[in-house]
Amino acid sequence: MGAQTEKRKQLFLQRYEEVENNDPEGLSARCHYCTHYSSAIIVASFLVRLEPFSQTFQMLQGGLDIPERMFYSIKKEWESASRDNMGDVRELIPEFFYLPDFLLNSNNIHLGCMEDGTTIGDVELPPWAKGDPQEFIRVHREALESDYVSSHLHLWIDLIFGCRQQGPAAVESVNTFHPYFYIQKGRQDNKDPIIKSTILGYVSNFGQIPKQIFTKPHPPRCGSKKEGSSPPSPTPFFFKLDKLKIPAQPFKELAGGPVGQIICLEKEVVVLEKNQLLLSSLLSCFFSWGFPDNSCAFGNYATGKNFAVSENLCDWGETYCAACPNPTTVITAGSSGVVCVWDVAVSKDKLIRMKLRQPLYGHTDAVSCLAASEVHSLIVSGSRDLTCILWDMEELSYITQLAGHPTSISALAINEKTGEIASCAGPSLYLWTMKGQLLTHADTSCGPQADILCVALTQRHEWDARNVIVTGCADGVVRVSFLCAGALQMVSQFVFFLFSVQYSALVVINLILASQAPVSIEGINNSMGKCACVYVCRLALFLCSGLLLSYNAFLQSKPQTLHCASLGGGGTNPHKSNTHNHLTI
């Protein structure tokens, strides 16, 4: 691994041949590398901007190193490990593939000044990252998950844990380290105190070769590409659809009111009315609110009938929104500005328990929307006081506030993969980290009355550049945006109706790779490539009128344009909102 180039490999081979093998177990033993690829000091030096690693580094180093030797530049570290320093054979640590925080000096630790007077702060990134740690990590992760890495991963396993770790195969692979780095029975128990101290010093300061797990070559991993084919190019989210068709026959009609929630299960699409949420993915129970007396109810999804009514919400004013992150937790909020977390238990159409776990105080006005993620133990509440508050779902405690919205918060969404939060206020769309750091924001309006009423995010891998944010607006337009180089870029607008429709909720059901036929793309950033794969895009939109539309569209071999469509049937006036309460698939 230390031989990143052929020239560097030859230098290590030369050093190996020049050392006489008179003392195979001593300090002057023959080896390719006299230092190690992983150790406590290597990890702490990369993570020096984060605690507790900053203190660990200073403890191991006896204080901070001279500035020129600190981790301050990706380019400098790469040149050192691949060209300039024969003693530098470091591996990248896992944080290079998932944690942008370690590249930022958010704690304002004084890391010193270099000879030219430059103060060391955030890590200098390569030009292709455009100064954005999130983009740097995303590209690194995308490379790690690529077919090329997958098809060569077994070779790395052989070097670290397998058949090429020791013995003749290690010599052949230019993969031998000083003998003191290897775990051998009895070596650390050497009775000579000097030798024992030397061995322990090597292990403490330079690291230790892990225990050999495999003695035979590790089989290659099966990538997504076929034998002899090239890996697929990174592709953007396609935004031009052809031959849009709206089925006249609704999939389901709701008699009680507008569509309020949709859940896409493996074999079916579950639809609930406004002010209803499914409490369990087993389709056994739903939670409903918004009654005149401020009570709430629990009902059976199959029959559509309520089986229990609770007055627990009455003391907290009118309920505007709710979230059910799991079958035993209901979160409500409304006119009081208090977020209430309830512990519920339902069994066989009976409400066993609805107990208030804790009220969460923080907003100064009514709470207008909620979002919750059990995966990230996160609750987000949006209010008319122009702020969002992040709460820890496990500890039921305040985390931070998302401020700076121009008007009342109208919609929230959490990316279950990354934990990123999308908040909407008026026509403005904001994207935040779980720590409350603003990643970017954009004004999505292209005219008057374009306030965002709902938002959804694709749940692809966090490193996938094809992740998009979809917003449904009061002007009847669905807008699709993706994050590129730290900025939200709108890639398309889907105008579904010739008359104005207000979207009350929206979800991206699916984004599936359907083919690898190349297509021509218009309006896409050149950095994303000229060729792409064909996708099936299924967009589901909740409307205030209770209508859910779902479209399937396949891209052909040329750019396609979305055609406007109007809704007919039932004597609907094209200048007014449709009053039907049905679902169309």
Domains of the chain: 6-206 (1.10.1540.10), 252-583 (2.130.10.10)
Amino acid 268: pLDDT: 74
CA 564 to CA 38: how far, in whole Å?
Answer: 58
Whether the pLDDT of residue 232 is over 60: the answer is no
Determine how many CB atoms are found less than 10 A away from the CB of residue 333.
29
Under 8 Å between Cβ of 504 and 543 = yes
The arithmetic mean of pLDDT across residues 254-273, rounded, is 74
Mean pLDDT of the chain: 76
Under 8 Å between Cβ of 369 and 412 = yes
Determine how many CB atoms are found less than 10 A away from the CB of residue 73.
15
Confidence at 260, pLDDT banded by 50, 70, 90: confident
Q: Which three-class secondary structure state does DSSP give residue 252?
A: strand
* Beta carbons within 8 Å of 294's beta carbon, 6+ residues apart: 313, 314, 316, 317, 318, 319
Sign of the C-alpha dihedral computed for residues 537, 541, 546 and 547 taken in this order: negative
Residue 22 dihedral angles phi and psi, to the nearest 5°: -75, -30
Range from 22-31, 93-102, 257-266, 294-303 carrying the lowest mean pLDDT: 22-31
- pLDDT tens track for 116-167: 889 999 999 999 998 889 889 989 998 998 888 989 999 999 999 999 999 9
* Candidate ranges 87-91, 146-150, 258-262, 382-386; pick with highest mean pLDDT: 382-386
Within the chain, how many helices (H) and strands (E) appear?
A: 8, 27
159: left (phi over 0), alpha (psi -120 to 50) or beta: alpha
Does the pTM exceed 0.85?
A: no
Single out the residue of 381, 425, 388 nearest to residue 406, CA to CA. 425
Strands (E), 375-444: 378-383, 388-392, 397-402, 409-414, 421-425, 428-432, 438-443
Range from 238-242, 283-287, 407-411 carrying the lowest mean pLDDT: 238-242
Amino acid 537: pLDDT: 30
Q: Edge-to-edge, what's the strand order for the sheet holding 503-515?
A: 252-253, 582-583, 548-551, 534-543, 503-515
Amino acid 230: pLDDT: 42
Determine how many CB atoms are found less than 10 A away from the CB of residue 446.
13
Under 8 Å between Cβ of 292 and 303 = no
Alpha carbon 1 to chain centroid, angstroms:
30
DSSP 34-45: SS-S--HHHHHH
Amino acid 251: pLDDT: 60
Amino acid 49: pLDDT: 95
CA 66 to CA 152: how far, in whole Å?
Answer: 37
Of all residues in the chain, the percent with pLDDT exceeding 90 is: 38
Under 8 Å between Cβ of 486 and 440 = yes
- pLDDT tens track for 363-422: 999 999 999 999 999 999 999 999 999 999 999 999 999 999 999 999 999 998 888 999
Pick 492 or 175 by higher pLDDT. 175
CA 410 to CA 403: how far, in whole Å?
Answer: 14
Range from 15-29, 73-87, 260-274, 386-400 carrying the lowest mean pLDDT: 15-29
Confidence at 255, pLDDT banded by 50, 70, 90: low
Residue 507 dihedral angles phi and psi, to the nearest 5°: -150, 140
Single out the residue of 331, 322, 324 nearest to residue 369, CA to CA. 322
Whether the pLDDT of residue 516 is over 70: the answer is no
* Candidate ranges 213-227, 477-491, 542-556; pick with highest mean pLDDT: 213-227
The arithmetic mean of pLDDT across residues 523-546, rounded, is 29
* Beta carbons within 8 Å of 422's beta carbon, 6+ residues apart: 411, 412, 413, 414, 415, 429, 430, 431, 432, 455, 457, 469
